[in-house]
């Protein structure tokens, strides 16, 4: 029997994380008692509480914790949390304590798991696969690393035959999964605090790919070496599955999709960037293999609205454009910048970027500087530390990074001061970008741009 079936209560330490919250929603939807802790009350934790989940925001051992029985309670934590009184209490009192990745892996054991991995593109691809599964009415559940704009959540339950999972390479978490189908979008260097160098990242992805039982159920972007048999996908070049004949009409991209045996013309896709056509290509390949018909898939591709904070775009009556994106790696920032410059080549672009992690800022400083220099003006926020301590990274600051940026118009800012600085700038397009708490600026910026110059 799966260990998860022995528990009725699930306590999440760090419940507000995007991956943790999807699991919490799964157990809540399954009729289990779900409660947890997080250090910050956010929109996401507020939504969880509205769904009936009990959350506290102080690291205290209260009556709700001491009343829990270890025989009945599974404790789930994220490796981003290092020390916490609550976690110490559960460990000292011999509760079953498991990492998020282990629990997600246990869930996938009982389903046909579709796991989407890659240093870039996995959130868009996994969310699109889930959307296509929903439109094709397949019996599935999904655990996503972003909030779908179509179903307004990072979790959806539509049956238990399939599970659609974003396979996270951080801390080698994806090696806990049991993938029956899998995608590898990219194996670029990232998380060097865990892996050390690019060769170890590539080895981690090879180990993940080796978990897939059959070659024809592993889809890898053409050009990525994965060390075993697989199906390839690409854009504008032949592969097992590929898209070409891309045409732009206003904010829409039209493309033709090729399988090994047929060509389906004129898909309509509303998410900018060739990299996102790649994501759509592999999602279509998987659903085609699962038996979905192309009439259904055409309609589903056309009505996909994207993911919150993945190129979330607003166009205002006053002509200004505001784009918010989660990108936190030079490759991702380049993709966003390229999309903006393709659609709006002559518009003045102001970028507010919040670096995420001292280690990532250090490891990719030159890449960040190169990508950020493509803006017209830059506000560089202080580095968001997440799980890291500044004292371990002497000299790695936003001012240090700013010196590498070649723009004339550039400055460092605290998060608290950034909104006021934005209001003083002259821009046609504003891009806020980063994976920390820069998202707290989103609502104030939307309200302000709506009001000015209408």
Dihedral sign computed on CA atoms, order 423, 425, 427, 429 = negative
Long-range contact pairs involving 266-271 (C-beta distance under 8 Å, separation at least 24):
266/298, 267/243, 267/298, 267/301, 267/302, 268/298, 268/301, 268/302, 269/301, 269/302, 269/304, 270/302, 270/304, 270/305, 270/306, 271/124, 271/304, 271/306, 271/311
Q: 292 and 384: one domain?
A: no
Q: Is residue 37 situated within a structural domain?
A: yes
Cross-strand bridge partners of residue 248: 253
- Under the banding of pLDDT at 50, 70 and 90, the label for residue 170 is confident
Read off the pLDDT of each residue in 186-212 and give the average, rounded to a whole number.
75
Q: Is residue 104 situated within a structural domain?
A: no
pLDDT of 1 reads: 47
Rounded alpha-carbon distances, angstroms, from residue 246 to 168, 185, 343: 30, 20, 14
Q: Which of 79-88, 162-171, 248-257, 277-286 has the highest mean pLDDT?
A: 277-286
- What CATH code is carried by the domain that includes residue 27? 3.40.50.720
288-322 pLDDT tens trace: 999 999 999 999 999 999 888 777 888 898 889 99
Surface-to-core class of residue 373, CB atoms within 10 Å of its CB (0-12 exposed, 13-18 middle, 19+ buried): middle
Surface-to-core class of residue 428, CB atoms within 10 Å of its CB (0-12 exposed, 13-18 middle, 19+ buried): middle
- Under the banding of pLDDT at 50, 70 and 90, the label for residue 191 is very low
Q: Is residue 307 situated within a structural domain?
A: no
> Domain boundary residue among 78, 99, 120?
99
What's this model's pTM, rounded to 2 decimal places? 0.80
Rounded alpha-carbon distances, angstroms, from residue 276 to 100, 130, 259, 314, 322: 28, 15, 18, 19, 20
Q: Which domain holds residue 297?
A: 109-302
Dihedral sign computed on CA atoms, order 439, 272, 448, 152 = negative
- Under the banding of pLDDT at 50, 70 and 90, the label for residue 40 is confident
Q: Is residue 189 situated within a structural domain?
A: yes
Q: Is residue 378 situated within a structural domain?
A: yes
Q: 371 and 444: one domain?
A: yes
Q: Is the pLDDT of residue 194 over 70?
A: no
Q: Is residue 1 situated within a structural domain?
A: no
Q: Is the pLDDT of residue 253 over 50?
A: yes
Joined tokens for residue 154: 């990072």
Q: 277 and 205: one domain?
A: yes
pLDDT of 133 reads: 98
Q: 26 and 167: one domain?
A: no
Q: How many domains would you assign to the chain?
A: 3
Joined tokens for residue 61: 């051992």
- Under the banding of pLDDT at 50, 70 and 90, the label for residue 197 is low
Q: Is the pLDDT of residue 285 over 60?
A: yes
Q: What DSSP line would sit under 128-159, residue for residue? A: HHHHHHHHTT--EEEE-SS-BTTTSSSEEES-
409-453 pLDDT tens trace: 999 999 999 999 999 999 999 999 998 889 899 999 999 998 885
- What CATH code is carried by the domain that includes residue 243? 3.40.1190.10
For the chain, report the end-to-end CA distance as a whole number of angstroms.
Answer: 62
The two beta strands, 73-77 and 155-157, are: unpaired
Q: 252 and 346: one domain?
A: no
Q: 267 and 242: one domain?
A: yes
Long-range contact pairs involving 90-98 (C-beta distance under 8 Å, separation at least 24):
90/11, 90/13, 94/70, 95/68, 95/70, 96/3, 96/7, 96/70, 98/74
58-115 pLDDT tens trace: 999 999 999 999 999 999 998 777 789 999 999 999 999 999 989 999 999 989 999 9
Q: 248 and 273: one domain?
A: yes
> Domain boundary residue among 302, 336, 371?
302
Read off the pLDDT of each residue in 120-142 and give the average, rounded to a whole number.
95
pLDDT of 328 reads: 86
Rounded alpha-carbon distances, angstroms, from residue 366 to 285, 330, 433: 36, 9, 18
Q: Is residue 382 situated within a structural domain?
A: yes
Give the chain's mean pLDDT. Answer: 91
- What CATH code is carried by the domain that includes residue 444? 3.90.190.20
Q: 88 and 115: one domain?
A: no
Q: 151 and 238: one domain?
A: yes
Q: 30 and 82: one domain?
A: yes
> Residue 123's CB: how many other CB atoms inside 10 A?
23
> Domain boundary residue among 251, 277, 302?
302
Q: 55 and 127: one domain?
A: no
- Under the banding of pLDDT at 50, 70 and 90, the label for residue 454 is very low
Task: Provide the angle, in degrees to the nearest 10, between the axes of the packed helices 274-289 and 122-135.
Answer: 40
- Under the banding of pLDDT at 50, 70 and 90, the label for residue 272 is confident
Rounded alpha-carbon distances, angstroms, from residue 362 to 290, 338, 394: 43, 24, 10
Q: 258 and 391: one domain?
A: no
Q: Is residue 2 situated within a structural domain?
A: no
Joined tokens for residue 25: 């929603």
219-249 pLDDT tens trace: 999 999 999 999 999 999 999 999 999 998 8
């Amino acid at each position: 029997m799966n260990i998860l079936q022995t528990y009725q209560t699930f306590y999440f330490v760090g419940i507000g994380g995007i991956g943790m919250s999807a699991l919490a929603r799964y157990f809540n939807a399954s009729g289990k008692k779900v409660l947890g802790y997080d250090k910050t009350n956010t929109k996401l934790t507020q939504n969880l509480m509205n769904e009936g989940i009990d959350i506290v925001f102080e690291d205290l051992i209260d009556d709700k914790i001491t009343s829990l029985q270890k025989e009945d309670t599974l404790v789930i934590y994220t490796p981003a949390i290092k020390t916490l009184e609550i976690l110490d209490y559960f460990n000292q009192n011999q509760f079953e304590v498991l990492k998020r990745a282990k629990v997600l892996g246990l869930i996938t054991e009982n389903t046909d798991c579709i796991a989407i991995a890659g240093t870039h593109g996995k959130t868009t691809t996994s969310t699109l696969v889930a959307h296509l599964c929903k439109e094709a009415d397949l019996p599935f559940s999904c655990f996503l690393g972003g909030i779908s704009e179509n179903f307004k959540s990072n979790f959806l339950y539509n049956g238990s035959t399939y599970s659609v999972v974003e396979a996270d390479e951080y801390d080698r978490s994806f090696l806990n999964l049991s993938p029956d189908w899998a995608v590898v979008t990219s194996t670029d260097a990232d998380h060097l605090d865990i892996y050390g160098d690019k060769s170890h990242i590539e080895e981690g992805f090879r180990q993940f790919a080796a978990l897939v039982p059959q070659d024809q159920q592993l889809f890898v972007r053409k050009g990525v070496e994965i060390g075993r048999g697989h199906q390839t996908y690409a854009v504008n070049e032949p592969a097992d599955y590929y898209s070409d004949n891309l045409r732009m009409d206003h904010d829409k991209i039209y493309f033709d999709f090729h399988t090994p045996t047929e060509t389906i013309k004129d898909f309509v896709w509303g998410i900018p960037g060739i990299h996102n056509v790649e994501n759509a290509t592999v999602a279509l390949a998987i659903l085609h293999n699962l038996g979905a018909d192309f009439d259904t898939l055409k309609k589903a591709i056309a009505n996909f609205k994207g993911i919150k904070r993945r190129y979330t775009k607003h166009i205002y009556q006053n002509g200004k454009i505001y784009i918010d994106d989660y990108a936190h790696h030079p490759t991702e920032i380049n993709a966003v910048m390229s999309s903006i410059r393709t659609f709006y080549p002559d518009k003045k672009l102001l970028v507010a970027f919040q670096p995420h992690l001292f280690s990532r800022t250090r490891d990719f400083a030159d890449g960040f500087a190169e990508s950020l220099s493509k803006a017209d003006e830059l506000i560089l926020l202080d580095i968001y530390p997440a799980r890291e301590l500044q004292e371990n990274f002497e000299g790695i600051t936003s001012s240090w990074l700013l010196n590498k940026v070649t723009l004339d118009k550039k400055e460092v800012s605290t998060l608290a001061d950034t909104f006021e600085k934005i209001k003083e700038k002259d821009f046609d397009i504003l891009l806020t970008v980063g994976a920390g708490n820069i998202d707290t600026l989103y609502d104030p910026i939307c309200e302000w741009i709506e009001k000015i110059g209408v």
